[in-house]
Amino acid sequence: MVKLSIIILSYNTKELTLNCIQSLIKQYRKELEMGDFEIILADNASTDGTLNEVSDPKFQIPNLNIVGNKENYGFSKGNNIAAKTAGGKYILFLNSDTEVKDRNFLNMIEFLEKNTGAGILGGKLTNINGSSQLSAGKFYNLFNLVIMLIGGERFGLVRVNPSIITKVDWVSGACMMIRRDVFEKIKGFDENIFMYMDDVELCFRAKKFGFDTYFFPNLKLLHTERGSGNKTFAILNIYKGILYFYKKHKSFWEYNLVKILLNTKAFAAFIIGIITGNKYLKKTYKQALKF
């Protein structure tokens, strides 16, 4: 029986994807060859030859299954499609721009085996320079949202990086292990979210169903952020995701207040862009004001 299904979603990240898979083979060849682990590569219609490269027999990738999507479905739908083919008791969603440096996915599985109330377990992410990424956080209630909009996340006021195994509100989808039965019960990622905020929304629904989310710090996993995106794309989709989250889960007045807060931040950043001649600020937040 497959214990862990590792789902890697790719979109025009050929070299990163191959490096991620090779790092998995280096650490978990035994588990892959024995069938305890499987790798599912879900490709969102890449045009850079990702599937041809990964399918090349010279790489000899054990227990690899490929799901070739006909178009770029985004993070949520792309992962949901792949999850339907998973045979593991646990599913690990792993970004293509990660590099696995140890065997502690086994310890993450052991934690979930021993703690049946835990539905989701997120792993620590590390930058290339060795610094830690803030890979978990608190749900964006109105107070936390204001803190985020004024830049407080970078100081650990909303996003966190605990040094011990800790119960948190949400964990990054770049490395998220979840019980397959829990994933199926909550009906997977919300496909109305193309990318960003999908992990927060999933953990929020899991909590509604009574499943806790934990952060696992004992992991060596390098993460190159936005391997298939850019900063403008990220900000715009975070704005969209926050608005969608509030429309789906919160009251009408909260949704409208959040819209005002986001527009205020976007307008201020746009004006700063004009004054300073910053093309990125002008371009990004002009688009954000249209939401």
Compute the half-sphere exposure of residue 168: CA atoms within 13 Å on the CB side of its CA.
30
Are 152 and 246 in contact, with CB atoms under 8 Å apart? no
What angle (nearest 5°) sits at the alpha carbon of residue 45, between those of residues 40 and 50? 65
pLDDT, position 58: 83
Q: Are strands 37-43 and 4-10 parallel, antiparallel or unpaired?
A: parallel
The residues near 8 (Cβ < 8 Å, ≥ 6 apart) are: 17, 20, 21, 39, 40, 41, 42, 94, 95, 96
The set of residues, in sequence order, having a beta carbon less than 8 Å from that of 34 and lying 6+ positions away, is: none
Give the C-alpha separation, 83 to 38, whole Å.
12
Cα→Cα distances 120→94, 175, 199, 217, Å: 13, 10, 11, 14
The CA distance from 103 to 118, in Å, is 21
Gap between the Cα atoms of 291 and 286, Å rounded? 10
Residues 203 and 154: their CA atoms lie apart, in Å, by: 21
From first to last of its 291 residues, what are the pLDDT tens digits of the chain?
Answer: 899 999 999 999 999 999 999 999 999 999 999 999 999 999 999 999 999 998 888 888 999 999 999 999 999 999 999 999 999 999 999 999 999 999 999 999 999 999 999 999 999 999 999 999 999 999 999 999 999 999 888 888 899 999 999 999 999 999 999 999 999 999 999 999 999 999 999 999 999 999 999 999 999 999 987 555 678 999 999 999 999 999 999 999 999 999 999 999 999 999 999 999 999 999 999 999 998
What is residue 227's predicted lDDT score, i.e. its pLDDT? Answer: 56
Contact 27, 102 (CB under 8 A): yes
Residue owning tokens 């280096």: 26
Tokens of 117: 């109330």
* CATH fold of 4-225: Spore Coat Polysaccharide Biosynthesis Protein SpsA; Chain A (3.90.550)
pLDDT at position 106 is 98
For residues 143 and 158, what is the distance between their CA atoms, to the nearest angstrom? Answer: 10
Helix and strand element counts for the chain (H, E): 10, 13
SS3 category, 38: strand
The count of other CB atoms within 10 Å of the CB of residue 99 is 18
Q: Which residues of 175-195 are buried (b: 16+ CB within 10 A; e: fewer)?
A: bbbbbbebbeebebbbbebbb
Domain regions of the chain by residue span: 4-225, 232-288
Q: Is 201 helix (H, G, I), strand (E, B) or coil?
A: helix
Report how far residue 23's alpha carbon sits from residue 6's, in angstroms, rounded to the nearest whole number: 13
